[in-house]
Chain A
Amino acid sequence: MTLLHNFQARALVLALGIFTAASASAQSIDLNRIFSIGRDAVTAVTGVSEEEELTMGREIAGRMLGAAPMVNDAALQTYVNRVGRWVAAQSERADLPWRFAVINTASINAFAAPGGYVLLTRGLYDILDNESQLAGVLAHEIGHVVRRHHVTVLQKSAALSAGAQLAQRDNRSALVNNMIGTGAEVFARGLDKSAEYEADAIGVVLAARAGYNPFGLIDVLHKLAARGASDGSLALLFKTHPPPGERLGQLGEALTPNMARLPAGTNPDIRRVAAGAGPMRAAQPLPEGARGLTAQQPQEKSKPKDGGGIGIDPGQLLRGIFGR
Chain B
Amino acid sequence: MLKVVRGIVGGVVRQFAGRLSVLCLVAGMAGVSLAEPVTIERDSALRAEPRTDAGVVGNLAQGAAGNAVARQGAWVQVKSGAVTGWLYSFNVRFGAVSTGAGEGSGTGSALGRVFGPRQRVNVTATIGIRGLDEEDLKQAKLDAGQLQELDGFAASLEQAEAHANQVGLSANQVEYLAQPAQSGGESGVQQ
**Chain A: residues with CB nearer than 8 A to chain B?**
58-59, 61-70, 74, 77-86, 89-90, 94, 97-101, 104-107, 109, 121-123, 126-127, 129, 131, 147, 149, 152, 155, 184, 190-195, 197-198, 201-202, 204-205, 208-215, 218-219, 222-233, 235-236, 238-239, 243-246, 248-256, 258-266, 268-269, 272-273, 275-277, 280, 282-284, 286, 291, 293-296, 298, 301-305, 309, 313-316, 318
Residues of chain B within 8 A of A78, CB atoms compared? 153, 155
Distance of B120 from chain A, by nearest CB (Å): 8
Minimal Cβ-Cβ distance residue in A for B127: A106
Decide: A291 and B160 in contact? CB cutoff 8 A.
no
10 contacts between A and B (CB under 8 A): A58-B147, A82-B160, A105-B130, A155-B188, A218-B74, A226-B109, A282-B149, A296-B5, A304-B139, A309-B141
What is the minimal beta-carbon distance from B15 to any residue of chain A, in angstroms? 14
Q: Is B144 engaged at the interface, CB distance under 8 Å to the other chain?
A: yes
Whether A127 lies near B170 (C-beta < 8 A) is no
Residues of B within 8 A of A (CB): 1, 4-5, 41-42, 52, 73-74, 88-91, 93-95, 97, 99-100, 103-109, 112-113, 115-118, 120-122, 125-151, 153-157, 159-164, 167-180, 182, 184-191
A218 lies within 8 A of B90 (CB): yes
- How long is the Cα–Cα vector from A282 to B99 in the complex, in angstroms? 45
- Does A89 lie within 8 Å of B180, measured CB to CB? no
**How far does the alpha carbon of A253 sit from the alpha carbon of B178 in the complex, in Å?**
10
Q: Is the CB of B185 within 8 A of A193?
A: yes
With A192-B186, A225-B94 as contacts: A314 and B137 at CB distance below 8 Å: yes
Q: Given A81-B153, A129-B118, A208-B172, check contact A275 B125 (CB 8 Å).
A: yes
The 4 A-B residue pairs whose C-beta atoms are closest, nearest first, are A283-B145, A315-B137, A230-B106, A245-B100
Q: Once bound together, how far apart are the Cα atoms of A284 and B94, in whole Å?
A: 44
The smallest beta-carbon distance between B187 and chain A, in angstroms, is: 5
CA distance A294 to B113 in the complex (A): 25
Provide the residues of chain B in CB contact with A255, threshold 8 Å: 74, 88, 90, 177
Q: Would you call B182 and A226 a contact (CB within 8 A)?
A: no
Q: Are the CB atoms of B178 and A282 closer together than 8 Å?
A: no
B4 with A296: CB separation less than 8 A? yes
How far is A198 from B182 in the complex, measured between Cα atoms in Å? Answer: 10
In the complex, A226 Cα to B145 Cα: how many Å?
37
B141 & A209 in contact (Cβ 8 Å cutoff):
no
Whether A66 and B146, one on each chain, are in contact in the complex, defined by CB atoms closer than 8 angstroms, is: yes
CB pair A210–B137 under 8 Å, yes or no, is no
Among B105, B146, B167, B174, chain A packs the most CB atoms within 10 A around the CB of B146
- Given A294-B128, A296-B128, A70 contacting B167 (CB threshold 8 A): no
A contact residues around B94 at 8 Å (CB): 222, 225-226
**Roughly how many angstroms separate A226 CA and B134 CA in the complex, as a whole number?**
23
Q: Give chain B residues whose Cβ lies under 8 Å from the Cβ of A121.
A: 132
Are B108 and A251 in contact (CB-based, < 8 A)?
Answer: no
What is the CB-to-nearest-CB distance from B95 to chain A, in angstroms, rounded to a whole number?
5
Which A residues are in CB contact (< 8 Å) with B190?
A: 147
- Kindly list chain B residues whose C-beta atoms are within 8 Å of the C-beta of A269: 167
Q: Which of A131, A229, A272 has the most CB of B within 10 A?
A: A229
* Across-interface contacts of A109 in B (CB, < 8 A): 132
Q: Are B129 and A104 in contact (CB under 8 A)?
A: yes
Residue of B nearest to A82 (CB): B163
Contacts of B91 in A (CB 8 A): 252
A232 touches B41 (CB 8 A): no
Q: Kindly list chain A residues whose C-beta atoms are within 8 Å of the C-beta of B89.
A: 215, 218-219, 222
CB distance from B27 to the nearest CB of A (A): 16
A275 touches B122 (CB 8 A): yes
Kindly report which residue of chain A lies nearest to residue B4, judged by CB atoms: A296
Is B100 within 8 A of A261, CB to CB? Answer: no
Distance, CA A132 to CA B169, complexed state (A): 11
Query: From residue B146, how far is it (CB to closest CB) to chain A in Å?
Result: 4
Residues from chain A with a CB closer than 8 A to the CB of B144 are: 62, 283-284
- Chain B residues whose CB sits within 8 angstroms of the CB of A74 once the complex forms: 153
Contacts A70-B146, A198-B189; A315 near B171 (Cβ below 8 A): no
Contact A211 B169 (CB under 8 A): yes
A251 CA to B91 CA, complexed, in Å: 10
CB distance from B12 to the nearest CB of A (A): 13
Q: Are A126 and B131 in contact (CB under 8 A)?
A: no
Q: A255 CA to B136 CA in the complex, in Å?
A: 36
Once A69-B143, A254-B177 are accepted as A-B contacts, the answer to whether A226 and B113 lie under 8 Å apart by CB is yes
Residues from chain B with Cβ under 8 Å of A195 in the complex: 187, 189
Roughly how many angstroms separate A213 CA and B143 CA in the complex, as a whole number?
36
Which residue of chain A has the shortest Cβ distance to B167 in the bound complex?
A268
Instruction: Please give, as numbers and ranges, the residues of chain B lying within 8 Å of A226 by CB-CB distance.
Output: 94-95, 108-109, 112-113, 115-116
Cβ-defined partner of A259 (8 Å) among B88, B93, B136: B88
